Amino acid sequence: MAVADSLSNNTADANHEMNPSDTFPMIDTIIEQYRDTGGALIPVLQSTQNLLGYLPKESLQYISRALKIPYSEVTGVVTFYSFFSTVPRGKHVIRVCLGTACYVRGGKDVLETFSRELGIKVGETSEDRQFSLEIGRCFGACGLAPVVMIDEDVHQRVKPTKIRELLVPYRNGEES
């Protein structure tokens, strides 16, 4: 999905603490860029999420009013596309593939091990805001299953016993 590929998961960690209303002028600037193009909603949502790191309710309401699109339609789009998030994400987003090839090669064990190691469930973010845990559906590397993406890094043939080691550079801020 091209639109998903264009998303960066967490470009605005520093903005997680911003008051959503403080960002309305920035959202106005984004909307101005797309106002005259058809299908402005998705690019506006993408850019807003890139700006804030997630899509707070207040921002969705503001976008709904500004684009004159019913709020239910805006939230419907946000719910439909898994790359949109209405809760703040961690600095690092871990996506464990549970596509068929990864599932049969132990993806579920990998997911459970990440969950135990980080103390969070799927869809949650660790208290220190370092990690969010999500499920992926095939990253196109099935021959190297099970596959995990951490931010933009692809990790192949991931073994549960190696997960603690895998997380070390991210925990230490030494990731590439």
List the one residue from 110, 141, 149, 163 that touches ligand FES (CB under 6 A). Answer: 141
* Binding residue for ligand FES, selected from 35, 76, 100, 171, defined by CB under 6 A: 100
Tell me whether residue 175 is exposed, middle or buried, using C-beta atoms within 10 angstroms of its C-beta: 0 to 12, 13 to 18, 19 or more: middle
Per-residue binding string, ligand FES, 147-176, x by CB under 6 A, is x-----------------------------
Query: Residue 133: beta bridge partners?
Result: 94
Minimal CA–CA distance to 55: which of 30, 36, 83, 92?
A: 83
- Span interacting with ligand FES, options 21-29, 77-85, 121-129, 132-140, rule CB under 6 A: 132-140
32-91 binders of ligand FES (CB under 6 A): none
Query: Judged by CB under 6 A, does residue 118 bind ligand FES?
Result: no
Q: CA angle at residue 85 from 79 to 90, to 5 degrees?
A: 155
Tokens coding 56: 């707070």
CA distance 126 to 167: 14
Closest approach of ligand FES to the CB of residue 148, in Å: 9
Question: Of 97, 111, 120, 149, which lies in the binding site for ligand FES, with binding defined by CB under 6 A?
Answer: 97
- Classify 92 as helix, strand or coil: strand
Return the residue nearest ligand FES (CB atom): 99
User: Side chain identity at 79, as an amino acid letter?
Assistant: T
Return residues touching ligand FES (CB under 6 A): 97, 99-102, 138-142, 145, 147
